[in-house]
């Protein structure tokens, strides 16, 4: 009976491929620090990979991915810097960031060069998971 299941799995894999996306490792672009601000046009994000704007968080992320020279990974981000805390529900609902990413607040976007190292040396007391819990408890997420 086990042989039948194994053969069925092999046949399905051969027919449809593996159930996850294939990546060219030479084109992987992991994000380490994400900055987000609200602008008159919508949302602007700045990372080490580049910057992009969109009407909302999802559109800004999509614009960054479209303009990048490879596959952008937001789930590798170690820090999130928000210039407008009203963006937090939108960012957290997207599920783009990992729960352990540290959350910082700032007045304005800044140069991303060296920002990851600076923020790593000055750890935040809040993580994405903590902020998500607080927003859920307040009914804002």
Residue 1 lies in a domain: no
The verdict on residue 77 lying in a domain is yes
Please count the structural domains in the chain: 1
Lowest average pLDDT, out of 13-17, 36-40, 99-103, 110-114, goes to 13-17
User: For position 6, what pLDDT does the model report?
Assistant: 73
Asked whether residue 86 is domain-assigned, the answer is yes
Asked, for residue 91, whether it belongs to a domain, the answer is yes
pLDDT in tens, 44-76: 999 999 999 999 999 999 999 999 888 898 889
Domain membership of residue 113 (yes or no) is: yes
Task: With H, G, I as helix, E, B as strand and everything else as coil, classify residue 30.
Answer: strand
Mean pLDDT of the chain: 88
- 99 within a domain of the structure (yes/no): yes
Domain assignment present for 55: yes
Domain housing 80: 28-138
Nearest to 45 by CA among 56, 102, 101: 56
Asked if residue 4 is part of any domain, the answer here is: no
């Amino acid at each position: 009976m086990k042989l039948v299941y194994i053969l069925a799995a092999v046949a399905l894999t051969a027919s449809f491929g593996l159930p996850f996306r294939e990546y060219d490792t030479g084109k992987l672009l992991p994000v380490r620090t994400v900055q987000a601000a609200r602008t008159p046009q919508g949302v602007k994000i700045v990372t080490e990979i580049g910057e992009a704007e969109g009407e909302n968080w999802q559109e800004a992320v999509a614009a960054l991915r479209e303009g990048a020279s490879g596959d952008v990974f937001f789930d590798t981000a170690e820090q999130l810097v928000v210039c407008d805390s009203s963006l937090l529900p939108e960012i957290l609902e997207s599920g783009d960031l990992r729960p352990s990413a540290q959350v910082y607040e700032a007045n304005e976007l800044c140069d991303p060069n060296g920002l990851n190292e600076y923020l790593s040396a000055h750890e935040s007391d809040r993580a994405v998971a903590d902020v998500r819990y607080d927003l859920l408890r307040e009914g804002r997420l």
